Chain A
Amino acid sequence: MKAVITVIGKDAVGILAKVSTECAKYNANITEVTQSVIDNIFAMIMMIDISKLNIDFAQMAEELSKKGEEEWGLKVFVMHEDIFNCMHHI
């Protein structure tokens, strides 16, 4: 089972470090990372394996989004891969 973490916001030092530290905390294995500027949005997209999480996935998603907004000033979306697969693949 995989999920996608998308981080959108202003570039700064250590975003990747912060997000990956959180992933390690929850035992989420990062399988892929890309950073790009699309449609004038700076975005980092991370694929994570969530099959061995030590926390409920919904709770992890909530914690990360909250941390992003309140501590880092970034928009962090943690979404199960199924929503992208169903929307964009027949």
Chain B
Amino acid sequence: MINEYDILETIRMIQDDCLDIRTITMGISLLDCIDPDIDKACKKVYDKITLKAKDLVKVGEQIEKEYGIPIINKRISVTPIAIISAACKCSPVPFAKAMDEAAKAVGVNLIGGYTALVQKGFSEGDMELINSIPEALACTERVCSSVNIGSTKAGINLDACGVMGRIVKECAEATVDNACFGAAKLVVFCNSVEDNPFMAGAYHGVGMPDCLINVGVSGPGVVRAAISKYPDADITKIADVIKEISYKITRVGQLVGMTASKRLGVPFGIVDLSLAPTPAVGDSVAHILEEMGLEVCGTHGTTACLAMLNDAVKKGGVMACSRIGGLSGAFIPVSEDAGMIDAATAGVLTIEKLEAMTAVCSVGLDMIVVPGDTEPDTISAIIADEAAIGMVNTKTTAVRIIPAIGMKEGDVLDWGGLFGKGPVMPLHKESASKFIHRGGQIPAPMQSLKN
């Protein structure tokens, strides 16, 4: 029997503390769409996506109403396009257009998978795809792109870091009329995962079934509210409180994923145990850290609080669902988190501190706005630093930074909606060009020698 307190607690979590399912993401394999004729291949891609995902949004909305819980995003991830487009031997931009049209046709707000995996080197198809990213993101609305440039097993492809610095800058330049939004749709990964449901880094790995459903949960507001009931408890107690509330959050993810998978007739993949913030009031990861006792997120102690939070969320969530995957950890996207925006604007949260934070949580330097005159080589060096943290710690790290063309430190780049706004954060001006231009491969670390 359900008791009244439980009913009201659930309603309060949803209504007051912004509990939601952040995304239901359908992963679709495009391996059977490969064709040397690019027009034929693109038609197959469009047809397959629109066939598999035709009911995704409808089913998502139905579940929302039945369970009374918002499902913020319905999205699609596909096989890395560099693999699909390699046979065409030309620019894969038409694939991006086909993906964009398919996403619009089925009503999803983002589609991920304009991706290349180059952690150990480039094929011709990879190079074609990477060079086409700025154009692809500028001429489409909903397509997201990612490039994996390193892994614990492979080391770091420093040539790819070098290229991606330039590509990130070009993405911003190509979308300067749209607040440089192109760069916000591009993630550079180390140790990227095949079943990540979150954008912009989602793609459908080649080792996966033809089609499946992955779910990403959220709920920073719920965690903060739970902690606020224990102002004087020690940190062990706080960890327990976070575990309990994460269990409940994740159970809803499991329920929604199972229901969606059943109704769509598609296997259920994973639940991604993540705390994904939004710019909305009461939906901030930074505010959780502040609730733990930091005056402002970014000050000394932030890394420790975040490490504990990240670990407790996983411990609570792990028993609540049958299969866990994706990125699973607290997200710290600066522009998408009201508390982080304030902390960065006040100058307390710096890029160095964010880098330290990425060593203990998922996923990386995310949604950070940097000066428009930042050299591509500097962006490459930031990517290399972040990849090194991921490589050595056997975890996913990523860089999604947005050079705000024409803006300088202190200005604010504003996208509105879920992507929020970010103050332009200062970077070191000293060059790392010589290092980046050495090129080559940073060898895989000792951690890779597990066999």
Q: Do A and B come from one complex?
A: yes
Among A34, A39, A41, A61, the residue within 8 A (CB) of B68 is A61
Residue among A8, A77, A84, A87 facing the most chain B CB atoms (10 A cut-off):
A87
Interface residues of B, dominant DSSP: helix
Contacting pair B67 A80 (CB below 8 A): yes
Q: Which residues of chain A are within 8 angstroms of B251 by Cβ–Cβ distance?
A: 86-87
Q: A6-B8, A43-B4, A88-B248 are in contact. Are A83 and B65 (CB under 8 A)?
A: no
Which residues of chain A are near B254, meaning CB under 8 Å? 86
Q: Mark B1-42, 1 if CB is under 8 A from A, else 0.
A: 011111111110001000000000000000000000000000
Q: Does A58 contact B (CB under 8 A)?
A: yes
Near A by CB (< 8 A), chain B positions 179-205 give none
A45 touching B4 by the CB < 8 A rule?
Answer: yes
- C-alpha spacing A47/B5, complex, angstroms: 14
Residues A4 and B2 in contact, CB atoms below 8 Å apart: yes
| Residues in B whose Cβ lies below 8 Å from that of A87 | 6, 10, 248, 251-252
* Assembled-state Cα–Cα distance A45/B4 (Å): 7
Answer yes or no: A48 CB below 8 A from chain B CBs: no
The answer to whether the Cβ of B276 comes within 8 Å of any Cβ in the partner chain is: no
Contact A79 B6 (CB under 8 A): no
Given contacts A38-B8, A88-B2, contact A82 B68 (CB under 8 A): no
Number of interface residues of A (CB under 8 A): 29
Please tell me if A78 contacts chain B, counting CB pairs below 8 Å: yes
B259 nearest CB across to chain A (Å)? 8
Q: Which of A27-77 contact B (CB under 8 A)?
A: 34, 36, 38-39, 41, 43, 45, 47, 57-59, 61-62, 75, 77
The docked-state distance in angstroms from the alpha carbon of A87 to that of B7 is 10
**CB-based A-B contact count at 8 angstroms:** 71
Chain B residues bordering chain A, tally (CB within 8 A): 24
A79 close to B67 (CB less than 8 A): yes
Q: Which of B6, B15, B65, B255 has the most CB of A within 10 A?
A: B65
Residues of B within 8 A of A62 (CB): 65
A85–B9 Cα distance when bound, in Å, is 13
Q: Which residues of B contact A22 (CB under 8 A)?
A: none
CB contacts (< 8 Å) of A4 on chain B: these are 2, 7
Instruction: State the CA gap A84–B6 with chains docked (Å).
Output: 7
Residue in chain B with minimal CB distance to A38? B8
Question: B3, B6, B8, B66: which contacts A80 (Cβ < 8 A)?
Answer: B66
The answer, yes or no, to whether B69 is at the interface (CB within 8 Å) is: yes
Q: Closest B-chain residue to A60, C-beta based?
A: B65
- List chain A residues, Cβ under 8 A from B61: 58
* Chain B hits for A88, CB < 8 A: 2-3, 6, 9-10, 248
A34 touches B4 (CB 8 A): yes
State the CA gap A65–B61 with chains docked (Å).
Answer: 15
Residue of B7, B68, B251, B259 with most partner-chain A CB within 10 A? B7
The residues of B with any CB-CB pair to A shorter than 8 Å are 2-11, 15, 61-62, 65-69, 248, 251-252, 254-255, 259
A-B residue pairs, 5 tightest by C-beta:
A79-B68, A58-B65, A88-B6, A83-B67, A86-B251
13 contacts between A and B (CB under 8 A): A6-B11, A34-B4, A38-B5, A57-B66, A58-B62, A58-B66, A79-B11, A79-B68, A80-B68, A83-B252, A83-B255, A88-B6, A88-B10
Known: A38-B5, A82-B259. 19 other contacts (CB 8 A): A6-B7, A39-B8, A59-B65, A61-B65, A61-B66, A75-B15, A79-B10, A79-B11, A80-B66, A80-B68, A83-B69, A83-B252, A84-B10, A86-B254, A87-B10, A87-B248, A88-B6, A88-B9, A88-B248
A interface residues, Cβ below 8 angstroms from B: 4, 6, 8, 34, 36, 38-39, 41, 43, 45, 47, 57-59, 61-62, 75, 77-88
